[in-house]
Structure formats: structure tokens, C-alpha cells
Amino acid sequence: MSRVAVVTGGTRGIGAAISKALKDKGYKVAASYAGNDEAAQKFKSETGVNVYKWDVGNYEACAAGIKQVEADLGPVEILVNNAGITRDAMFHKMTPQMWKEVIDTNLTGLFNMTHPVWNGMRDRKFGRIVNISSINGQKGQAGQANYSAAKAGDIGFTKALAQEGARAGITVNVIAPGYIGTEMVRAIDPKVLAERIVPQIPVGRLGEPEEIARAVVFLASDDAGFITGSTLSANGGQYFS
């Protein structure tokens, strides 16, 4: 399978596992990142995946980035909108900047990245878009009004676009992971993790990035053509939506 796949935030954490899993399946993968050159170069040298730096919050940068990827690898047929950040605070302490940064990256980033690939997918009558939301966009999380709003928005975006893309052979789905053992989660105090977080997960452990990656590989495949507009909860049984 030599289709071209773009994975935003594809050089670290869940995105790195997604990029690697798609590459292992034979896709030509472009992994984007925001600014951590060291991690990106390390990922590139370990995996051979092409890496590209641009801010998903900037529309012009995304359009230019896609243009570059298409010149290097060919038309983009799979887009995985994975890049995400947190800027957590209880609402009374949340600043407009914390709100804006999270919405720009986690929600507007989906518009900015999807818009430049959409017409090409429509013309070629094939496309796979997989968005990475979060359990906290489904259930809401205290201290994350910005993140919960953006991630809930990702689900609405997916459902709307799935309807628009269906006749053109484009599927649009969203995965809502629970707690996954990436740097973001491993940075939490181990005592809090062991005593407060893991006990809330019925399977009794954190998820692994590769478990999300395998779900992406399926949704990106030709086999998943009848699945569109779906929200796949991957959270060890912590929440059913």
C-alpha cells in the first residue's frame, strides 16, 4: 500500500506510534511537528519517516506544508489530525491565551489541515481522515474547559464532514483515547497515576500508543470504507458515549 499519509504531531507520543504503524504497512508517511527538532530528527533517523515542521494553528503554514508533502511524496490520501496540546487550569484561573492556544491547535488545526487536502480527495474520490479527540472531549474534565471544548468540537467536525465526504469516497472518523502512556501522561505524579487515575480504568492499566495506532491503521484502510462519522472510544472501558 503506497498511499501517502500525513500525521500531524507525528514525531512523538501517540502520533509517532501512528506514523510508524502506517509506515510498517507500506504507506508513504509525512510526520509533522511544531518545534521540537531534536525529537523529530531522532524519530526520522530511527524510522526513516519524512518529518516536516509547521504549526497546525496557522492556515497558510498548513497549506504550504501540504504543498511541500505533495511535491515530495504525491497526493495526500490519508490525513491523521493528531497534534494536540494542553494548557490546564481551573476556569477561574484560565487566561484567554490558554484558551486560544488550545483551541487554535486542537480544533482550528483540524480545519487548517483538512481544508488543503479536501478538494484533492474529492477530485480523486478517495480519502481517509482520522481525527484524534479525547475521552475528556466526551465527558468533560475539570481543569480542562479549553481542551474539553476543543476535543468535543473535533467530534462535531468529524460528524459534519463525514456527511459531506461520503459521496466522494472520503471517510471521516474520530478516535477518543483515554489515558495513554505518553510523556503527557507519564509526567503526572506517579502516586496520582497509581492511586487516582489507573483505578478509574476498568482494564487496570494505561493504554499504549500502539493500541491507538492500530485503530488508526484500520480506519485508514480500504477495508474501513463503510465506517464514517464514527467516534471510536479507546479508553479501557472508562467511559461509554
Q: Under the phi-then-psi rule, with left for phi > 0, alpha for psi from -120 to 50, and beta for the rest, what region is 92?
A: alpha
HSE-CB of 42 using CA atoms within 13 angstroms? 7
Q: Is 184 in the site for ligand NDP (CB under 6 A)?
A: yes
> Which of the ranges 69-77, 116-124, 173-181, 218-226 carries the binding residues for ligand NDP, by CB under 6 A?
173-181
- Stretch touching ligand NDP by CB under 6 A, among 172-180, 191-199, 213-221, 223-231: 172-180
Told to check if 215 binds ligand NDP by CB under 6 A, we report no
C-alpha cell belonging to residue 63: 497549506
Interface residue with ligand NDP among 108, 114, 146, 182 (CB under 6 A) is 182
What is the chain's alpha carbon radius of gyration, rounded to the nearest angstrom?
A: 17
Among 6, 49, 83, 121, binds ligand NDP (CB under 6 A): 83
Give the E-state strand segments of the chain in sequence order. 4-7, 28-33, 50-53, 76-81, 127-132, 170-177, 231-234
**Catalytic site includes residue 147:** yes
Which amino acid makes up residue 86?
Answer: T
- Residue list 135-154, contact with ligand NDP (CB under 6 A): none
Q: Cα–Cα distance between 240 and 234 in angstroms, integer? A: 10
- Judge contact between 187 and 159, C-beta under 8 A: no
What minimum distance in Å lies between the beta carbon of 93 and ligand NDP?
21
Minimum separation from the CB atom of position 91 to ligand NDP (A) = 19
Q: Does 49 bind ligand NDP (CB under 6 A)?
A: no
Q: Of residues 76, 85, 130, 213, which one binds ligand NDP by CB under 6 A?
A: 85
How would DSSP label each residue in 23-40?
Answer: HHTT-EEEEEESS-HHHH
Of the candidate residues 1, 24, 26, 36, the single one contacting ligand NDP (CB under 6 A): 36
Residues marked active site are found at: 147
| Site residues for ligand NDP per CB under 6 A | 8-9, 11-15, 32-36, 39, 55-57, 82-85, 105, 132, 134, 177, 179-180, 182-185
